[in-house]
Amino acid sequence: MNQVLELYLKTKKDWDKKSSVRSSGESYDLNINKIDPKKDPDWHVSNYSGILQHEKLSSLTEEQKKFVRGTQLLEFVIKTTKFEIDYVNVVANNLALGKYYFKLPEVLKLDALKIYTDEGFHAHFSLQMSDQIKKYYKIDDDLSPYLDGFFEKLNNLGNRFDKNYKYLSLIAAVIVSESMIVQDISNEMKDVVYEPIRAMFKDHMIDEAFHANYFGTLFKIIWPQLLEKEKEILGINLCEAMKVLGAPRVDIYYYSLPKIGFDKKIVSKFISDIYDNSEWNQNKIKKRMSNILKLLNSCGVFEISSVKKEFSNQGLI
C-alpha cells in the first residue's frame, strides 16, 4: 500500500495548479450568435459520427452532415453532464464520507472531494454547451427518450447478482469510465478546430488524467481488501461496464437521421451495417480499455477463472 500511495502522491502534486475549475478561467462559451452559418467554422468534430461512412448517407448535404455531427456532440455533452453527477460524484461522495466498508487512506477521502468539485464543474460546462447546441439547431424536443437507454444499461450492470452487491456495479462503472475517458477525449480532440470546444476538451482531459490516476490507485488499494466473492462480482461487473461504456455511441442517430428524412427502421439498418462487427464491438473497445485492462491484469483480476472467462468471452483479453 505504501508504494502505491507514494507513487500517487508524487504524480498528483500539480492537481490544484492545473485543475480547470481552479485555474483555467475559460467560459467555454460557444458564442453561437457569432457562428456565421455560411462560414460555419466546423465547430463539431469532423471525423466523428461513424454512421456518415455509410454509402447511403454519402449524398447528404454538407449542412445535413454537420447536423449529424453537431447532435453527436450534443449526445456527448448530455451524457457527460448526467454521468459526472449521477455516477462519478455518487461514488466520490461515498468515498469521501467513508460510506464503504473498505479502509481508505485519508488522502483518498480528501481527494474524492477534489473529484467531486471537478466533476461538478465539468457537468456545468457540459450542460451549458448542450443548451447552446440546442439553441443553435433550434431543438426543443426532449432528447431523454433517445439517451435514457444508455443509463438504463448502466443501471442494469450486475443485475445477475444479489442486489446487496449493487454498490460494486456503480464502482465498476466509475472506475472503467474514469480510466478510459482520457483516451476518449484525446481521440475526440484530434481535429477540433473551434476554440471553445477545443479548450473544453483540453481542460477536461487534464482533469481526467488526475482522476484516472486516482481511481487506478483506489482500485489497487481496495482490491486486496475484498472477499473472494466480492472480487468475482466486481471483476464481472468491470467487464460488463466495459461493454456498455465502450460501445459505439449511436443512440442520437435515432433522433438526427429521422430529422433529415430517414425512418427509424432504416436508421437501425444503417447502424447495424456500420457497427455490427468485431471492429466496433471488440477491437475498438479493447483499444479504448487498454489502460484499465493493464491495471486489472497487474492486480491479478484475471486469476479468478470465472472473471477471466467473462473477459475472454467478450474478446477483451
Residues forming contacts to Fe ion in the complex (CB under 5 A) are 119, 122, 178, 208, 211
Q: Judged by CB, which is closer to Fe ion: 211, or 288?
A: 211
| CA–CA dist 57, 37 (Å, integer) | 22
Residue 109: what are its φ and ψ, rounded to 5°?
-70, -45
Minimum distance of Fe ion from residue 178's CB (angstroms) = 5
Q: Provide, rounded to whole angstroms, the least separation between the CB of residue 242 and Fe ion.
A: 17
Between 200 and 271, CB nearer to Fe ion: 200
Nearer to Fe ion, 77 or 133 (CB): 77
DSSP for 240-287 reads HHHHHHHS---TTHHHHHHHTT--HHHHHHHHHHHHSSHIIIIIHHHH
Q: Which helix (H) or strand (E) holds 20?
A: helix 20-23
CA distance 247 to 63: 27
By beta-carbon proximity to Fe ion, the closer residue of 111 and 119 is: 119
Cell of 53: 461512412
Question: CB neighbours of 2 closer than 8 A, spacing ≥ 6?
Answer: none
- Rank residues 60 and 78 by Cβ distance to Fe ion and give the closer one: 78
- When the beta carbons of 69 and 79 are compared against Fe ion, the nearer one is 79
Closest distance of CB 266 from Fe ion, Å: 35
Number of H helices, E strands in the chain: 16, 0
Smallest distance, Å, CB 190 to Fe ion? 19
Task: Tell the smallest beta-carbon distance from residue 303 to Fe ion (Å).
Answer: 28
Of the two residues 76 and 255, which places its CB atom closer to Fe ion in the complex? 76
Q: State which residue, 208 or 251, has the beta carbon closest to Fe ion.
A: 208
Provide, rounded to whole angstroms, the least separation between the CB of residue 69 and Fe ion. 22
Q: How far is the CB of 81 from Fe ion (least distance, A)?
A: 10
Q: Which three cell numbers stand for residue 276?
A: 455490427
Nearest-CA neighbor of 20 among 210, 175, 178, 186?
A: 210
Q: Least distance from C-beta 73 to Fe ion, angstroms? A: 16
Q: Dihedrals φ, ψ of 257, to 5°? A: -70, -40
Pure H helices in 32-143: 62-83, 89-96, 106-136
DSSP state of 160: T
Instruction: Please give the single-letter amino acid code of residue 39.
Output: K
